[in-house]
Amino acid sequence: MTEPRNDGLHGQPHAIVERDGVRYTLLGTAHVSRASVDAVRAAIASDRFHAVAIELDPARMQALTQPDALARMDLVKVLREGKAALFAAHLALAAYQRRLAEQLGVEPGAELKAAAQDAQARGLPLHLIDRDVGLTFKRASQRLGWWGRAKLGGGLFAGMFFDEELGEQEIEKLKEGDMLEAAFGEFAADTPALYDTVIAERDRYMGARLRESAPSPVDREADPYEVLAVVGAGHLQGLARHLREDADPPAEVRAGLESVKPKSSVPWFTLFLATFLLGGFAWGFWRGGFDVGTELMLQWVLVTGGLGAIGCAVAGGHPLSILAAFVASPLTPLHPALASGTVSALVEASLRKPTYADFMALRDDAQSYRGWWRNRVSRVLLNFFLTSLGTAIGVWTGGLRMLGKLIG
């Protein structure tokens, strides 16, 4: 740590790292503190810095500075690209931040927003150095396994509905930590893989982005070139260490931390399920004749289609969406690229097209049970998840019943 000059950093957690002719001043902030907003503005107003970097990615920057960005989203495109779960995770994080703002009277991330606005007002280069939140979710999901993913998803979405106030201990922890980590709750602290992905990986990623965004020696306005990096206090020590010690080229570091394991080119579960079903139907026709084979097929259709349709109905789906769920649920488990929830949600979004008002009210409506069913955007998401859940239960129930019939 170095004693700052008259630049607004006095009394604020910070670190200064000099490397390759660039002096990086890392300002550790609390995402729910007015003092952090004042410190950021004072630092930029000091005219000491030639560039500003902030702990945001383009998607979070847009959400923070353009509140109506959701209203321009193409929900049908989100569904077709298989990003419904990621969109729901963004919504969960937004709902958590809204609850914090209401309780504390400070918009979470206000210091990052202030840094972006003040840097642009002064004509300073602004660098977004955080990893895309979608990549962070994907990498965390791959490391957690199915049970960990279920716990993570359950914790995120429970946070949308339960409007309990944070205690003083939780608020103090948030002031010292990271917004994503706080949104995951105690699960992050108890899960090393999640902590590593959400915190440690991003420390290294932001260090690489800072090095990568530095201008070449011939393009620098001064030596040393001064960069102010505004990051959550929980990242301060790790970021400073990586910025000081990492020797690998920053582009290589960033590429490695952006990579996501490709899904297996062989859909083993789908192949197993298709073999089991077709084999079971064939066995039924061969051993029991037309009646037994037909009964097995009808049972599969009714169980999977019925439970998928029930899930859609519970989500408040349109009658044609419920019909689409019933038709798709027996078939989509046999196709690795399709999901019954996607089919029914696409029908729902087409028949009950969300309006501008639905998107604008989404963050507020997502904080109550009634709001989820009232808002057309969130109802489409419910349609996707509950139809998929119903189909999944139907697959296991129908499969076990068929197995019992065959060996009975």
Average of per-residue pLDDT across 303-318: 94
Reported confidence tier of residue 181, pLDDT bands at 50, 70, 90: low
Residue whose token pair is 């990623």: 205
Give the residue from 225, 242, 233 showing the smallest Cα distance to 27: 233
Q: Is the pLDDT of residue 160 over 70?
A: no
CB of 11 within 8 A of CB of 213? no
DSSP letters spanning 50-95:
SEEEES--HHHHHHHH-GGGGGG--HHHHHHTT-HHHHHHHHHHHH
- Of the listed ranges 1-5, 121-125, 210-214, 252-256, the least confidently predicted one is 1-5
Q: Is the pLDDT of residue 156 over 50?
A: yes
Greatest mean pLDDT among 119-123, 162-166, 352-356: 119-123
Average of per-residue pLDDT across 132-161: 71
Q: Is the pLDDT of residue 307 over 80?
A: yes
- What whole-number distance in Å separates Cα of residue 55 and Cα of residue 29? 10
Contacts 24+ apart (CB under 8 A), 293-297: 295/405, 296/402, 296/405
- Rg (the chain; Cα; Å): 25
- What whole-number distance in Å separates Cα of residue 41 and Cα of residue 321? 51
Average of per-residue pLDDT across 4-29: 81
Q: What is the pLDDT of residue 153?
A: 65
Who wins on pLDDT, 267 or 248? Answer: 248
DSSP letters spanning 301-327:
HHHHHHHHHHHHHHTT--HHHHHHHHH
Q: What is the pLDDT of residue 3?
A: 44
Domain boundaries of the chain, sorted by first residue: 14-258, 268-407
* 95 exposure class (CB count in 10 Å sphere: 0-12, 13-18, 19+): buried
Q: What is the pLDDT of residue 8?
A: 60
- What whole-number distance in Å separates Cα of residue 325 and Cα of residue 392? 12
Average of per-residue pLDDT across 311-322: 95
Angstrom CA distances, 232 to 55, 64, 95, 239, stand at 7, 16, 20, 10
DSSP annotation of 332? G
Report the share of the chain in percent with pLDDT over 70.
78
Average of per-residue pLDDT across 70-93: 73
Q: What is the pLDDT of residue 55?
A: 92
Q: What is the pLDDT of residue 302?
A: 93
Average pLDDT, the chain: 81
CB of 17 within 8 A of CB of 24? yes
Who wins on pLDDT, 123 or 363? Answer: 123
CB of 30 within 8 A of CB of 174? yes
- What whole-number distance in Å separates Cα of residue 305 and Cα of residue 360? 34
CB of 343 within 8 A of CB of 278? no
CB of 101 within 8 A of CB of 64? no
- Of the listed ranges 65-69, 197-201, 203-207, 273-277, the least confidently predicted one is 65-69
> Which helix (H) or strand (E) is 211 found in, with range?
helix 201-213
pTM, full prediction: 0.73
Q: What is the pLDDT of residue 1?
A: 41
Residue whose token pair is 């002064």: 122
- Largest Cα–Cα distance in the chain? 89
pLDDT in tens, 201-232: 999 999 999 999 988 887 777 778 999 999 98
- What whole-number distance in Å separates Cα of residue 406 and Cα of residue 383? 34
Residue whose token pair is 């979004």: 349
Who wins on pLDDT, 243 or 96? Answer: 243
Average of per-residue pLDDT across 9-37: 85
Q: What is the pLDDT of residue 4?
A: 43
Number of continuous H segments (helices) and E segments (strands) in the chain: 20, 5
Q: Is 214 helix (H, G, I), strand (E, B) or coil?
A: coil
- What whole-number distance in Å separates Cα of residue 203 and Cα of residue 26? 12
Q: What is the pLDDT of residue 383?
A: 93
- Of the listed ranges 133-147, 299-313, 324-338, the least confidently predicted one is 133-147
Dihedral over alpha carbons 36, 38, 43, 46 (to 10 degrees): -170
- What whole-number distance in Å separates Cα of residue 338 and Cα of residue 53? 41
- What whole-number distance in Å separates Cα of residue 387 and Cα of residue 329? 8
Q: Is 19 helix (H, G, I), strand (E, B) or coil?
A: strand
Q: Is 84 helix (H, G, I), strand (E, B) or coil?
A: helix
Report the share of the chain in percent with pLDDT over 90.
33
User: 3-state SS string over 138-169?
Assistant: HHHHHHHHHHHHHHHHHHHHHHHHCCCCCCHH
Greatest mean pLDDT among 8-17, 123-132, 179-188: 123-132
**Single-letter code of the amino acid located at 4:** P
Residue whose token pair is 């930029």: 44
Reported confidence tier of residue 159, pLDDT bands at 50, 70, 90: low
- Of the listed ranges 60-74, 131-145, 225-239, the least confidently predicted one is 60-74
Q: What is the pLDDT of residue 2?
A: 43
pLDDT in tens, 34-64: 788 888 999 999 989 999 999 999 888 887 7
